[in-house]
Structure 1
Amino acid sequence: MSQRSRTALLLAFLVIVWGINWPLSKIALTYAPPLLFAGIRTVIAGIILILAALPKWKQLEFRRLWPVYLASAVLSIVFYYGFQTIGLQYVPSGLFSAIVFLQPVLLGIFAWIWLGESMYGLKIFGLLLGFAGVAALSIGGFTGSISAAGVLLALASALCWALGTVYTKRNAARVDMLWLTAMQIMIGGVILLGAGSVTESWAAITWSGAFIMNTLFIAVFVIALGWMVYFKLINEGEAGKVGSFTFLIPLMSIGSSVVLLHEQITLNLIAGMVLIVGSILLVNVNLGRKRRPKHSL
């Protein structure tokens, strides 16, 4: 299998599992409080990844690299999931998702500034077009009262995701990628679980078959394998281009929500699909630009 085919398969896997995560999480949240649910699924994923990384134990180097693990965990897991969980209480989920998926635009800009990746007018237009597509998909979320705090939390979630991705790629040469993924998820999960234990009640969890199956699926495929694939792609390719494909995730989310939650297909979905496909095509046009020297982060 060629490198291009393998990359395409990994991207398809990521879009599918991260897309279906939204309706599955919505279902699971009917059985458990948000922070405890986030902590449980993330800790399970962390345990799985640590077990997978054990044969490479010597490459952990925790005493030397713990600041990298901690910073990555705080940005990519604690803040990203934490701001997301809290912010959804203040604004409609559609609007919140549209703002969060500003992340690829921010990632493209940060990758240009700190990773030396190329940036030009067509690429900028493509990134903005993708965000417009996500906004079209989520137009229903713009109804009702809008909370400034909720909007700020959504922006913070997108910002932390983009910064966490850039931070991870900049430190990829210093750490083993499997251990970095495992430790950031485990540390982040423990922090989330601790926060949930303090602010929420374990007695509020209904340990039904649906909750257990959803939690395990999300822990294994969405978090453990999903983040591993995401950082592998980021490490091997241009962060901005890989990030642009995350615009497809809301499409998969809406499609799976139609099947699992019986939500309706609207004209917004069609408009969003057209804009998103255009975004990916524009961002991935090869104009032969050279990489600029990297700036310090």
Structure 2
Amino acid sequence: MKQLSKIQTALMLAFLVTVWGINWPLTKAALAYSPPLLFAGIRTLIGGLLLLMVALPRFKKLRFKETWPIYLISAILNITLFYGLQTVGLNYLPAGLFSAIVFFQPVLMGVFSWLWLGESMYPLKIAGLILGFAGVAVISAAGFGGHISIAGILLALGSAVSWALGTVYVKRTGGRADSIWMVALQLLIGGVLLVSSGHFSESFSAIQWKAPFILSLLFISVFVIALGWLAFFTLVGSGEASKVASYTFLIPLISIVVSSIFLHEPLTVSLLAGLLLIVTSICFVNITPKKLKTPALAAEKKAVHLKKLLPRGKRKTVPLTKLKTSSADGQ
């Protein structure tokens, strides 16, 4: 996947954490007008249909016979299980505690990326991931009161695990499927599965098609679902999955700030403490030790040099893993 510039990465990250942060209070408000599974399915389907219109001109890149298992597995992990377990689980746990468990995802991402993507793991990154989760826990501490359900905790953990596994899966298979088709079909398949589940357990007649609901539905479908997931997987494909995931620690923070402004929920000292932990976490995760940075930089320079030596028509990207292997053999 094409590498993003630093400015493109920063803008896309800012957009992503902002719209996904706004999503939580908007969804909370919209659920007053609709059953949860049907709402999750409808917004996902709308987002998928919007991206389908963008993907259709790239029809030749679909290669559905070869890649359909990728789309299906991605849809089940990132959409059906992630949103399905989330919407059901919120009935069993306070929202603060549930969101804190769900945002254990970046920590899981760090571990899974190390195990299955070969991303580096070092003490500073481990400390950063733990600090980020601690920051989310501190911010969400106000919601820790009330009845604690084992079923709710398991559903929240399931939501976090499915999202982390889905992200790693997309990163591993990203070169085999077109990115826009990946997100579009993931949303369409996941949306159909969610609406089907809602059809058997909920009622379409319970949806109140009032202006606040319609506006929330449209905003979430366009910005949170269609553009949000496209931005997320573009970022994951362009850089280290664990580093991208570390920025999602900011989402609960933005959610609480927006809720305090529009839903008149109180701001607390724990918000500032959590903010400090999260910012420190992101800094730690995104600082690469010199001993890891130097070999990677040398391999990258070697790849560029070798590419220049080849005739124009035969230039291909030299995999860094091969360069590292050959360098090691020569030592």
Determine the structure 2 residue equivalent to 1:130. Answer: 132
Counterpart mapping for 1:211-250 below 5 A:
211-250=213-252
Counterpart mapping for 1:1-297 below 5 A:
3-288=5-290, 289=292
Render the CA deviation track for 1:118-169: whole Å, top value 9, x for unaligned: 1011100100000000000000121111000100110010000000000000
- Report deviation, 1:273: 0.3
Percent identity between the two aligned chains? 59
Q: 1:14 is matched by which residue type in structure 2? A: L
Partners of 2:258 and 2:188 in 1: how far apart? 28
Structure 1's consecutive aligned runs of 4 or more residues displaced over 3 angstroms after TM superposition are 290-293
- Find the residue that maps to 1:42 and give its secondary structure: helix
Number of residue-to-residue matches in the alignment: 292
Q: 1:60 is matched by which residue type in structure 2? A: L
Partners of 2:166 and 2:86 in 1: how far apart? 15
Render the CA deviation track for 1:196-236: whole Å, top value 9, x for unaligned: 11110111000001111100100000000000000000000
Render the CA deviation track for 1:73-109: whole Å, top value 9, x for unaligned: 0000000001101111101010000000000000011
Q: 1:62 is matched by which residue type in structure 2? A: F
Partners of 2:199 and 2:45 in 1: how far apart? 13
Q: 1:94 is matched by which residue type in structure 2? A: G
Q: 1:219 is matched by which residue type in structure 2? A: S
Structure 1 unmatched runs, 5+:
none
- Report deviation, 1:180: 0.4
Q: 2:265 is matched by which residue type in structure 1? A: E
Partners of 1:275 and 1:75 in 2: how far apart? 29
Partners of 1:278 and 1:95 in 2: how far apart? 22
Partners of 2:257 and 2:143 in 1: how far apart? 17
Q: 2:198 is matched by which residue type in structure 1? A: G
- Find the residue that maps to 1:119 and give its secondary structure: coil
RMSD over equivalenced CA pairs, Å: 1.2
Partners of 2:64 and 2:88 in 1: how far apart? 31
Determine the structure 1 residue equivalent to 2:302. Answer: none
Q: 2:66 is matched by which residue type in structure 1? A: R
TM-score, reference length from structure 2: 0.87
Partners of 1:241 and 1:94 in 2: how far apart? 24
- Find the residue that maps to 1:137 and give its secondary structure: helix
Partners of 2:262 and 2:167 in 1: how far apart? 30
Partners of 2:194 and 2:186 in 1: how far apart? 12
Structure 2 unmatched runs, 5+:
297-319, 322-331
- Report deviation, 1:6: 1.1
- Report deviation, 1:61: 1.2
The higher-RCO structure (CA 8 Å, 6+ apart) is 1
